[in-house]
Amino acid sequence: MFLAEHYPVLVIVISLLSAFTILIAGWVNKKACLPISLATISVQLLLAFFILHQVITSGTIHYWLGGWAPPWGIEYVMDAFNAYVLVIVLFICLLAAIYSKRSIEKEQPGKIVPFYVVFQLLITGLCGITVTGDIFNLYVFLEIASLAAYALIAVAGGRALKASYNYVIMGSIGACFYLLGVGFLYAVTGSLNMHDLSLLLPPLYGNKVVQAAFVFFVVGMSIKMALFPLHIWQPDAYTYAPSAVSVIIAAAMSKVSIYAFIRVFFSVFTTDFIEIYVPIAATLSWIAAIAIIVGSLIAIMQTNLKRMLAYSSVSQVGYIVLGVGLYSTQWGLYGALMHILNHAITKGCLFLVAGAIIYRSGLWHIRDFEGLGKKMPYTSAAFTIAALSMIGVPPTVGFMTKLCLVLASLEAVEYVFVAVILFSTLLNLVYFWRVIDRMYFVRKEGEEESEHEIKKEEAPLSMVFPALILGSLCVIVGILWLPGSVTPLQPIVNQAVKALLGMGVVVP
């Protein structure tokens, strides 16, 4: 198994090379772009599964780039947490790629080649962030992914240009903050390797530079993952981006930013630091709680489906951060990591559906959705399941997150958070049920009892299929979480949580 050692780097290399291959192949034949991209992502996903399997069975993988030993060379480290995130991200990317075929043909017929090139670069960036064990390397990939995302959003033209510009400004500020943090740490320790840093830092925890670096990290990543109140770039970007891109940035890219946040939070710095030197957990939880409520409240006011989903994401990021803030409880971090998967599935499904509706009927205003349940039965069914999951109706994934976070809040004796989580359930109900009502039950003005047949106008298979997969996963994964150790999901998250809280990125 010579090749097996190289899987972590192969995930990146294949993707990067494929981006250029697509460019060249696209010159010859536009139709070659998608198959190459699909094949690449499939191989990457397969590699990710192998890595995950290996991590679970035989522990953390360390890969030294070019054979250079860690503190000097770049090291790729795969433990349960990033293998888990990698699989999620690539799975969403695969579905988005399948989905993009028809949606890009319709939305941007002239830009197919550049679209897929940048798309593949985005995936490279996302994977890079996930696999690396070096904070500067992480910054590099962060920029690759962000630049690709700015470009992909701008592809749509019109208002998307402004959205993308906003994102460029905010995203760059976030990246700069992150870079400043890296610089500070490097100035103090002279190291960029995460594991090395976690060993070097403890004696320096009292140092103001280290503390400032930590704050820079937190603020920088909060912008990237659109944590309230630093989310202002996000609704426009999600709303005006091409449908397939909305799916990726909402479901995959936000998760990767959250991954980076959690990684720096627990693996570079440690729980000791957070508890004693910069007691940020309580503040973070409160911010998250406000995010949950405010995000939902603004979502209720929206009339554009994609925009509503964007604000719902603001509130969902709050769930994850709340879990992180409650890391000292048994279920806090566990719930956060669970919700990374849960939210990726659910929000991915919802954005896929929103895109499919726009593709088929050009509708984006919730008011106009009457009769959609009959017109596009499968799309609407997927939406309904995902919406129920957002609300947290058992046995969907949303319910499981809710259980964990409620338990964590009870354990932390923070009844306010319990109330926030449960109240947000009702708020989610308000804005999602409005859509379901329109789709299935509300009749158009003037339309009477007489049931005139509405023609089925389902979106193309390549768009419905991914939505249905994610829709059914909402229930299946929800049921898989529940039994605990019998299914493969729980041990992964368990191992990840232990690694994060225990000893950073080292062998368990």
Kindly indicate which of the ranges 236-244, 258-266, 305-313, 415-423 contains the residues binding other proteins, using the contact rule CB under 8 A: 415-423
**Beta carbons within 8 Å of 325's beta carbon, 6+ residues apart:** 281, 282, 283, 284, 285, 286, 288, 332
Which listed range, 60-68, 202-210, 388-396, 454-462, lies at the site for other proteins (CB under 8 A)? 388-396
**Host H or E run for residue 78:** strand 75-78
Characterize 210-234 residue by residue with b for buried, 16 or more Cβ atoms within 10 angstroms of its Cβ, and e for exposed.
bbebbebbbbbbbbbbbbbebbebb
- Minimum CB separation of residue 437 from other proteins in Å reads 7
Residue 325 CA to residue 323 CA, distance in Å, equals 5
**Lookup: tokens for 385:** 């399941």
Binding segment toward other proteins, per CB under 8 A, in 128-136, 146-154, 351-359, 476-484: 476-484
- 443: helix, strand or coil: coil
User: Contacting other proteins (CB under 8 A), which of 431, 463, 481, 504?
Assistant: 481
DSSP conformation class of 193: B
Cα Rg of the chain (Å, integer): 22
Which tokens go with 507? 């062998």
490 binds other proteins (CB under 8 A): yes
Q: According to the binding rule CB under 8 A, does residue 393 interact with other proteins?
A: yes
Residue with tokens 């197919």: 112
Of 392 and 504, CB closest to other proteins: 392
Q: Residue 410, interface with other proteins (CB under 8 A)?
A: yes
Q: Is 423 in the site for other proteins (CB under 8 A)?
A: yes
How crowded is the C-beta side of 167, counted as CA atoms within 13 Å?
A: 29
Tokens 């860690």, residue located: 70
Q: How far is the CB of 1 from other proteins (least distance, A)?
A: 33
Residue 29, helix vs strand vs coil: coil
* Interface with other proteins (CB under 8 A), residue from 286, 364, 440, 465: 440
The Cα–Cα gap between 103 and 243 comes to 7
Residue 483 contacts other proteins per CB under 8 A: yes
Q: Please report whether residue 454 would count as binding other proteins according to CB under 8 A.
A: no
With both helix axes pointing from N to C terminus, report the angle between 397-411 and 415-436 in degrees, rounded to the nearest 10: 160
Tell whether residue 458 is a contact of other proteins (CB under 8 A).
Answer: no
Nearer to other proteins, 137 or 315 (CB): 315
68 contacts other proteins (rule: CB under 8 A): no
**Binding residues for other proteins, how many (CB under 8 A)?**
31
Least distance (Å) from other proteins to the CB of residue 501?
Answer: 17
In three state form, how does the secondary structure of 400-447 look?
HHHHHHHHHHHHCCCHHHHHHHHHHHHHHHHHHHHHHHHHHHCCCCCC
Q: Check the CA dihedral 31-32-36-37 and report its sign.
A: negative
β-bridge mates for residue 75, sequence order: 64
Nearer to other proteins, 27 or 423 (CB): 423
CA distance 126 to 245: 13
Given candidates 29, 109, 441, 444, which one binds other proteins under the rule CB under 8 A?
A: 441
Task: Determine phi and psi for 76, rounding to 5 degrees.
Answer: -100, 125
The reply on whether position 443 binds other proteins by CB under 8 A is yes
**Both structure tokens of 352:** 């896929």
Nearer to other proteins, 361 or 490 (CB): 490
491 lies in the binding site for other proteins (CB under 8 A): no
Stretch of residues binding other proteins (CB under 8 A), selected from 185-193, 297-305, 421-429, 458-466: 421-429
Question: Smaller CB distance to other proteins: residue 367 or 443?
Answer: 443
Is the separation of the CB atoms in 235 and 161 below 8 Å?
A: no
- Nearer to other proteins by C-beta: 103 or 329? 329
Stretch that binds other proteins, among 177-185, 259-267, 352-360, 423-431 (CB under 8 A): 423-431
Q: Interface with other proteins includes 453 (CB under 8 A)? A: no
Binders in 69-108 for other proteins, by CB under 8 A: none
The binding site for other proteins (CB under 8 A) comprises 388, 393-395, 402-403, 406-407, 410-411, 418, 422-423, 425-426, 429, 433, 437, 440-443, 449, 451, 481-486, 490
